[in-house]
Chain A
Amino acid sequence: MREKPKAYRSPLWKHLEEIRRWRREQETWEAIAERLRVNYGIVISFQSVQSFFKRAIDPDHKRPLGFEPEIVTTNAPGQKLAVERSPVEESADPFSIEAPSDSIDPFAKSRRKYQQENPNE
């Protein structure tokens, strides 16, 4: 029997900001799902990406115990207020992230099909 998936295990968390950026570039959910497949090999329906994103950005969404946002309630002088963090670690250096356009292969399926049909080539 399959195990119940654990909280915050979705591979999409890693790409939350990227999904947000694509969305702001007016990409359709279908196109975003396609990009996730092409760029990261994540096979997912566009409805699931949409539901994930909706859930991820909803501040009222009930989180499992232990995953609630870290909010400091003390009024100690000079203490910084903790900002709500994404469960995914963000890269410290934005330039170290691979540029997405380089990894897109518009002919990925065609190449895969050819390789499957001609495994010796």
Chain B
Amino acid sequence: MSKDSKPDKHPVTRRLIACTQSTGRVGKSTVAEGLITWLKFAEIPYAAVDSDRQHRTLANRYPTVDTFDATQSINDFHTMIRALPDFPVTIVDFPAQATDFLLGAFQHFRLLDSFEASGVRPTLLIFAADDSTAAESASASARFFLDKADYILVENPAKFQSEEFKKTALFKWLSDRKTPTIRLPAVTEVTINEWKALERRTKKYIQLEEAIKHPDLFYTVRDELTYFRDTFLAQFEDCAVPRIISDAALIKNKVVRGEALKTLAAAAALEDPWL
């Protein structure tokens, strides 16, 4: 390398997918669950850690998901970074209200440069929520990472509105970078309640994939969860390269498009305000 040249960039081989926004109850763990469902479906090796010690939503549903609160101290964060596995995808479900800590920790360890040099690239999930804390922490995250990360926008009409967010400079900046949007499909309360009731009855957490096949759930519930899953699968597959994985060859199992599109249409119908 010559004296004036930039440090060598390692080709991206690993993705660290997380949300650094300070916002709760927007569906962070649901998106992480959807992403895990797709990674399992596509047979892509991944690691996942639930860093939200208070809720443990992800770890409760997925026994193979680790629990480790990397935001408890800078030492714990360091421990997690040191142990980052060689899998193509690592998902970290951080707790809400951790933006300052996380950006500070990234800065402390100069992670943007070291990640770039070692082939790790962050992908940040940005929840397009109108509330000011969510929008400000999204902006702080994007200003910190800039082009050293990739982004995926998330809309969740059941939990938040995105009209105001779409008027912001951040949204324009993300749109200029052709940031894809994942839209969480609507699921009726009846389905959610029946799923939760089944978990209470069986005294165990039931994964989405398991719920879809569970004979104790009414067929409409199973069907609704099936389109929820298929919509997730199709959307994640659409934006997979390069934001989730660096190489399309890693996808061993592809979503059957015909079915996925049908389910997307069903989801759109549910979100019709006239209904």
Contact = CB atoms under 8 A, between A and B. Distances in A.
Interface in B225-257: none
B64 A106 contact: no
Interface residues of B, number: 24
Interface string A99-110: 001001111111
Contacts of B65: 109-110
Contact of B66 (A30, A106, A114): A106
A110 B64 contact: yes
A106 B46 contact: no
Contacts of A114: 45, 47, 87
Interface stretch (B68-76, B153-161, B170-178, B259-267): B68-76
A106 B80 contact: yes
A113 to B, nearest CB: 4
A113 B83 CA distance: 16
A111 interface: yes
Nearest to B66: A109
A104 B68 contact: yes
B87 A110 contact: yes
A106 B79 contact: yes
B48 interface: yes
Contacts of B63: 109
Interface string B73-100: 0011001100111010010000000000
B139 interface: no
Contacts of B75: 101
Contacts of B70: 106
Interface on chain B toward A: helix, strand, loop, or mixed SS? loop
A28 B67 CA distance: 13
A57 interface: no
Contacts of B84: 107
Interface in A64-121: 101, 104-114, 118
Nearest to B46: A110
A107 B66 contact: yes
A34 B67 contact: yes
Contacts of A44: none
B183 interface: no
A110 B47 contact: yes
Contact of A111 (B47, B67, B80): B47
Interface in A28-43: 28, 30-31, 34, 38
Contacts of A105: 83
A38 B76 CA distance: 14
Contact of A101 (B45, B79, B85): B79
A37 B229 CA distance: 32
Contacts of A101: 75-76, 79
B37 to A, nearest CB: 15
A113 B49 CA distance: 13
Q: Enumerate the 6 nearest inter-chain pairs by beta-carbon distance, A residue then B residue, closest first.
A: A110-B47, A106-B68, A113-B64, A109-B66, A106-B80, A107-B47
Given A106-B49, A106-B68, A111-B47, 4 more contacts: A30-B53, A31-B67, A104-B83, A107-B90
14 contacts: A30-B53, A101-B76, A101-B79, A104-B68, A104-B79, A105-B83, A106-B49, A107-B49, A107-B83, A109-B65, A110-B49, A114-B45, A114-B87, A118-B45
